[in-house]
A = this chain, B = another copy of it.
Amino acid sequence: MIGEQYLLLPGPTPLPEQIIRAMSRSMINHRGPAFHELLFEVTAGIRSIYKTQGNVLIYPSSGTGVMEAAVANFINPGDRVLAISTGVFGDRFASIAAAFGGQVEKISVPWGQAADPQVVRERIRQDTDKNIKAVLVSHNETSTGVVNNIASIAEALGDHPALLIVDTVSGLAAHPFNMDEWRVDVAASGSQKAFMIPPGLGFLAFNDRALKIHKQINNSRFYWDVSTGLDYLQKGQTPTTPAISLFYGLQEALRMMAEEGLDNIIKRHAFYRDLIRSGVEALGLELLAQGEAASCSVTSVIAPPQIGANKICTAMLQQFNIVLAGGQQSLQDVIFRIGHLGYVRELDLLAILAALEIILYKLGCPVELGAGVEVAQQRILQNHDQITG
C-alpha cells in the first residue's frame, strides 16, 4: 500500500522527522564531557515533565523495567503492598511486587472503570498498625484506556507512611501529573509514549522520602540500584552504558516539548480524547471508559458484538494501513483501542474516523457515512481561533 502507516497505538508512537534526524548522530564517549552535558539537560527536562524537584534516573529499559526498579529499590521482601489494579498493567505491577517478595493485597477494579479513591481511603484507614509499606497504582491504564485520579488517591493516603508508587508510563505528559504537589513518592515512565521517541528508555523519579526508605531496602538489585545511579549522575554519567541514540532523540523531544509548553501538550491530548470519543459515539458505538475515567492517551471502543473487534482492526490495517490495538485478555476481540498519544495530528484522527465509518459500513453496521467525522469537525471548529486578515 502506498504511503506511511497510520500508527495509532498507545505506544510506540509516530516519530517527528527532527527526532529521527537527531538520533542519527554519531556515537560519543559516554564517559566524556559531551555526554555529561546531554545527561544533565535531559535529566532536568524529565524532571520538569514530572513536575518534581526530586531525583530522576534514566535507564536503558522498557517501561516495565523501571516498574521493576521502583519495586526493587523501594519495597522489602515481606512488605505488605496494596496494589490497585485497573487492568493488565496494574496486574503487572502487582506481579512484579510479588516476584520481589512483596505481600501483595490487590484491589481489582472492574476493567474500564477507574479506581475509587474512597475505597483506598477506607482500606488505608483500617491499616492502624501501618503495615502497608507501599501503594502501587497505574496513572493511565493502557489496556483499558482509563486514567486514575492520582491526586485523589494521594489525598486518600493522608499521613499514612506508605510510599505512593505510580506507573505513569502512558500517562505522563498526556495528562496532568504534579508529582511533588500531589506527594507522589516514586513514578515510572518511558520513552515510547508522549515523548515521541522510540522505546528503550525508562524514566524513574523519586523524592527524598523514598530515597531515605530505599537505604533500608535490601531487595535484590544491581542494574536498577538508585544509589549507584545517583552516584554516577553526580559525575555526569550512568552506571552502565546508556542508550546514546535514544538520548539524542530525548534531547530533541524535550526541546520540542518545551517549545510547545507542557500545559499545551496536555490540553492537546485532552482535545484528542474529546475529538475521538465524540466521533465514535456519533457512530453509535459504545466507549469502555466513562466520564473522568476516559484516558487522554488511548480510547477503548466496544466493537459491535456481532462483528468483534479483531475483524475491525484487521480491516483497518488491510484497507487503510491504519494500526490500532486490540483488547487484551478478557477484552480480546471485545474492544479496539485508538492511541492518540505523542506525535499525532488532529487530521489523522479525522481520517481514522472516516476510515472507521467505511469499514463499519462494509461490515454491515448501520452507520451514516460522515456522521462521526462531522461531529469531530465541529469540535475542531470550536477549538480553532478565527481566521483573520
The reply to whether A241 and B192 form a contact with Cβ atoms under 8 Å apart is yes
Instruction: Decide if A30 is an interface residue (CB 8 Å cutoff).
Output: yes
- Residues in chain B near residue A62, CB distance under 8 A: 60, 223, 240-243
Q: Which of A6-22 contact B (CB under 8 A)?
A: 7, 9, 11-15, 20
- Nearest Cβ in chain B — how far from A316, in angstroms? 12
The residue in chain B whose Cβ has the minimal distance to the Cβ of A61 is B60
Of B23, B28, B64, B219, which contacts A220 at CB under 8 A? Answer: B219
Number of residues on chain A facing chain B (CB within 8 A)? 56
The reply to whether A190 and B4 form a contact with Cβ atoms under 8 Å apart is no
The residue in chain B whose Cβ has the minimal distance to the Cβ of A95 is B222
The residue in chain B whose Cβ has the minimal distance to the Cβ of A192 is B241
The reply to whether B61 and A325 form a contact with Cβ atoms under 8 Å apart is no
Measured CA separation A14–B220 after assembly (Å)? 35
- Nearest Cβ in chain B — how far from A242, in angstroms? 6
Instruction: Decide if A112 is an interface residue (CB 8 Å cutoff).
Output: no
Measured CA separation A23–B197 after assembly (Å)? 12
- Residues in chain B near residue A29, CB distance under 8 A: 7, 9, 323, 325
- Nearest Cβ in chain B — how far from A105, in angstroms? 18
The reply to whether B27 and A223 form a contact with Cβ atoms under 8 Å apart is no
Question: At the interface with chain B, which of A96-104, A121-129, A155-163, A371-379?
Answer: A96-104
Q: Which of A186-240 contact B (CB under 8 A)?
A: 190, 192, 198-200, 219-223, 225, 239-240
